[in-house]
Amino acid sequence: LLRSVVLGVGSYLPAKTLTNDDLAKIVDTSDEWIFQRTGIKERHIAAEGETTSMLGEKAARAALANAGLTPDDIDLIIVGTSTPDWTFPSTATQIQAALGVAHGVAFDLQAVCSGFVFALSTADKFLRSGSHKRALVIGAETFSRILNWEDRTTCVLFGDGAGAMVLEARPSSGALSERGVLTTHLRSDGRHRTKLYVDGGPSATQTVGHLRMSGQEVFKFAVGKVTDVVVDAFAATGLSAAELDWFVPHQANRRIIDMSAQKLGIAPEKIVATVHLHGNTSAASIPLALSVAAADGRIKQGDLVMLEAVGGGFTWGSALIRW
């Protein structure tokens, strides 16, 4: 029996920050409106020419350093992104080349804001099968490039960044007290496409397009439905909210995070939230939050950590990890 054990996490944020007050100079909005409804205070924005793969490479190097490994040790790279550098080749192969890795396999996985949880679940299945030994799972995004900067209902919500995790396949007895990914649960329902989408793409329009969203519909779905996958994780393991040490959900909106935790019976002090500093960085938000909480000493070896995300599609998923 093999289990995917977390060896390290790391992240990277572009240097430039954009505060709510900065945004109020671009569109008709205010710090008060944005903060009250979303909890966001500021977000990072990639510099001109700074691409998703560049952010992802830096996050990957930070995670490798945290794990005490080098790029050569990695034989599987999965990148969750909806803002690839190019239509093809994949951002994962660009990062693979930038890391100087020429062995193994690298590919992208697109599940929008659920991208990291989907990529983690996929890597876990590769590692547990014995086909690969060590994985880099990366969430990297430059959503600033697909925002309509004249639309105040969307441009205030998102930011750029990248986070990464290193996992290794290790023998396991199967005990829940042993380190590693304990269970993952993924869902999707494509009937919700028009509630959260980009109005461009290579095949449909031959443009890149802009993000469009029915905010209230997404909010309702996120709080109403998404918690199911966390309940599934508890059912699969026999563990409960009381046994969790940390809840690290996708960082879209503080109200969604708090309402989800309350619904699941997770105590407020177990929530890791970085949305005030990063905004919604889509697939990067969970590994960014994990990096912050691991670096400041909150998440420690042996802790029980629940990840949860929802994104366009809709897609949604959970991952329960013994850190």
Choosing from 20, 113, 210, 253, the catalytic residue is: 113
Q: Is 66 labeled as catalytic in the residue annotation?
A: no
Q: Judged by CB under 6 A, does residue 29 bind ligand ACO?
A: yes
Q: Judged by CB under 6 A, does residue 36 bind ligand ACO?
A: no
Q: Is 210 labeled as catalytic in the residue annotation?
A: no
Site for ligand ACO in 179-208 (CB under 6 A): 196
Q: How far is the CB of 276 from ligand ACO (least distance, A)?
A: 14
- Give the Cβ contact number of residue 34 at 10 Å: 22
Q: How far is the CB of 314 from ligand ACO (least distance, A)?
A: 8
Closer residue to ligand ACO, CB minimum distance, 316 or 323: 316
Binding residue for ligand ACO (CB under 6 A) from 16, 41, 133, 152? 152
Q: Is 132 labeled as catalytic in the residue annotation?
A: no
Q: How far is the CB of 210 from ligand ACO (least distance, A)?
A: 14
Q: Judged by CB under 6 A, does residue 286 bind ligand ACO?
A: no
Q: How far is the CB of 226 from ligand ACO (least distance, A)?
A: 8
CB-based contacts of 10: which residues, under 8 Å, 6+ apart? 59, 60, 61, 62, 63, 64, 65, 66, 163, 164, 291
**Cis omega before residue 118 (within 30°)?**
no
**In terms of DSSP bridges, do strands 2-12 and 160-171 run parallel, antiparallel, or are they unpaired?**
antiparallel
Rounding to the nearest 10 degrees, give the CA dihedral for residues 47, 93, 204, 218. Answer: -70
Q: Judged by CB under 6 A, does residue 35 bind ligand ACO?
A: no
Cβ–Cβ under 8 Å, residues 282 and 82: yes
Q: Which of 249, 248, 230 is nearest to 240 (CA)?
A: 230
Active site residues: 113, 250, 280
